[in-house]
Amino acid sequence: MKRQSGPLMTIIFACAAALAAMIAPSSGPLAQGRTLHLVALGDSLTAGFGLPQEAAFPVVLERALKAKGYNVEIANAGVSGDTSSGGLDRLDWSVPDGTDGVILELGANDMLRGLDPAVTRRNIETIVERLKARNIPVMLAGMYASRNLGADYAGKFDTIYSDIAKKHDLVLYPFFLYGIAGELSLNQSDGMHPTAKGVEIIVDRILPTVESFLARLTPR
């Protein structure tokens, strides 16, 4: 076959470049090529209690997002045993300047200790408001109350996350433990903290919501 050259090849290359430009996304983290800096602010479910560091939720989530082409870094700001009050107290140093977004997962320990849901609500909303004041978007990862705490407590606790998300126009993942809660094989011996396989399932289920959150962000 005769090798083509000259004006014809110039036209072919120009058409190929134009087609590539039409196919490629024009905005968002994939196209911008800049790193999105996220912080996962939470308790032991974020920290990776009982697991090696590479199996913790933020690390597994970052790995999954990178596999899909997102240029992200997720800092693990999870502290085992932390309540919403503890997260509020350490907010400023847990979320440094330059953070593009926060995945907020707090409240499970409040519930397990039977703390007043009104206090949990106030703390989580204050965290959201303080981050919004810094122009840092928030994604809420919610929690449901254990049914043995009674219908009244559960009713007051379960609405915390959806109410705050609606009020502040936040991306919401209603139940962080969706898919693994109550599954013995996916939780450690305490029945409360996920195994490495459990974390993988959490990430697989939450990933579309995180992608929706990323679509709102602008790298700084």
Residues with active-site annotation:
44, 190, 193
Residue with tokens 């254990």: 146
Among candidate residues 210, 211, 209, 179, the one with its CA nearest the CA of residue 197: 179
E strand segments, the chain: 36-42, 72-78, 101-105, 138-141, 171-173
Residue type, 90: R
Q: Are strands 101-105 and 171-173 parallel, antiparallel or unpaired?
A: unpaired
Q: What Rg value do the Cα atoms of the chain yield, rounded? A: 21
Helix (DSSP H) and strand (DSSP E) numbers for the chain: 10, 5
Structure tokens at 202: 């959490």
Residue with tokens 């926060």: 102
Q: Give the phi and the psi of residue 141 in degrees, each rounded to 5.
A: -110, 110
Number of alpha carbons in the 13 Å side-chain half-sphere of residue 73: 9
